[in-house]
Amino acid sequence: MTFMEEYQQKLITPDKAASLVKSGDLVGYGHFGLFPAEFDKALGKRAGEENLVNVTIDCASSVRYPQVLKNDPEMKTFTYYSNHFNGLERKLGDVNRVSYVPTQYHDLQKIRGDVVQPFLKKNVMCLMTCPMDSHGNFNFGIAASDTYATLKNADLIIVEVNEKNPYCMGGSMESINIKDVDYIIETDESIFVMPPAGEPSATEKQIAAHIMPMIPDRACLQLGIGGVPNTIGALIAQSDLKDLGINTEMFCDAMVDMYEAGKITNKYKTRDVGRSSFTFCFGNAKTHEFLHKNPQIAAYNCDYTNNPKYIALEDNVISINNIIEVDLFSQVCSESNGIRQISGTGGSLDFHIGAWESRGGKGILAFNSTYTDKEGKIHSRINPCLPRGAVVTVPRVMVHYLVTEYGAVNMKGRSIWGMAEGAISIAHPDFRDDLIKSAREMKIWSPTNRIPF
């Protein structure tokens, strides 16, 4: 039987695919842009069926409002988990419709691949893929992630083919062959694209100005999500830096700008010389076009890109990620506002550790020193202690550089007195006196401490 004959034999309707889900099943959806639109719509139509209960959906950063939730407001049929909250899932979490699964990103490949937790084994897995190639392979496109490991241990595999999905060359574990696929459905749904990045704020430009001198020629870059990493990318494109490399979890729009400016050559990487390695993309249409069948880019599973022991093989790893807040003990929160989950650990800790272990590397955690609430009141993001319920994403013993618009400070090797002094030195000046007062009351301030004002 030819590949195409096998394809036609396995091709079914979305409704037929959804009918394969049984009570008690754990159903996996493709992460990020691999969210299976047609399958979700069909499965959502089964909400409320008398003989369908206790079905759990596992996803990450859903790019569409899940129909299994929209059609099941009382959760009589479906329960929904996410491995990383985005804006949509944050709102769903606010009304207790989705539960966050804490994890380091690189661990997902191991948990679902080599060291499988029985309760994570998918009964049904459905994800969006690129069309089948001439060798019978379905490329995962913009989210290699832990996809292969999940499929490897799933009982039933359904691919949702979409011609609009960018074909991202590997790498490894970036595709699945038709012989391992049980069923195929087709879709022409639009692919999620990021909206155009806005102009960086004055504060973001100040933060970026403190970070730029920390990046050497031949650095290997990881840029996270947010305004500061995007601003850094734009500044790099306009800089005199040369022969930069990329090993990142997320391939972002700014990286295309760096390529077009000739800054990215990957000549001096230890692994994937001449190619940028990544595991997923949240990008605009231009970025998707850039990634499509581009041999300069390699899509890998999340263990390959995010495991600190592999990251550390590269020299001069510069990891730049946003954080939400930090306390005077140098405990960093990157994922919650108090008890409210708004993001996830993701790869922030992975890359922060890997950058520190890299020869010449720097783990950089960047943030605005303040934020303004809905009433217009300004608050400090540097506080005596993290608020109740705030999640410690990066423990104090692992924090390397903290950067705000008021400067950059290296936290490695400092005493608790020194950590307090370092944090206050980059706080907004209007809050420094109160922070020093709190530090004294907490007995983490010494008569020898000095803060430049």
Residues marked active site are found at 249
Question: How many separate helices (H) and strands (E) can be counted in the chain?
Answer: 16, 26
Which residues, including other chains, have CB under 8 Å from residue 251's CB and lie 6 or more apart?
276, 278, 280, 281, 283, 287, 291, 297
Bridge partners (DSSP) listed for residue 162: 187
Which residues, including other chains, have CB under 8 Å from residue 450's CB and lie 6 or more apart?
421
Which residues, including other chains, have CB under 8 Å from residue 444's CB and lie 6 or more apart?
328, 329, 416, 417, 419, 420
Pairing of strands 325-327, 382-383: parallel
Which residues, including other chains, have CB under 8 Å from residue 73's CB and lie 6 or more apart?
none
Amino acid identity for residue 351 in this structure: F
Which residues, including other chains, have CB under 8 Å from residue 399's CB and lie 6 or more apart?
326, 330, 332, 352, 363, 365, 411, 412
Q: Which of 66, 55, 3 is CA-nearest to residue 30?
A: 66
Q: Is the separation of the CB atoms in 168 and 140 below 8 Å?
A: yes
Q: For 164, which DSSP code? A: T
Which residues, including other chains, have CB under 8 Å from residue 210's CB and lie 6 or more apart?
403, 405, 407, 408
Q: Which of 173, 185, 176, 187 is CA-nearest to residue 64?
A: 187
Burial annotation 319-333 (CB, 10 A radius, 16+ → b, else e): bbbbbbbbbbbbbbb
Q: Which of 338, 331, 305, 302 is CA-nearest to residue 103?
A: 302
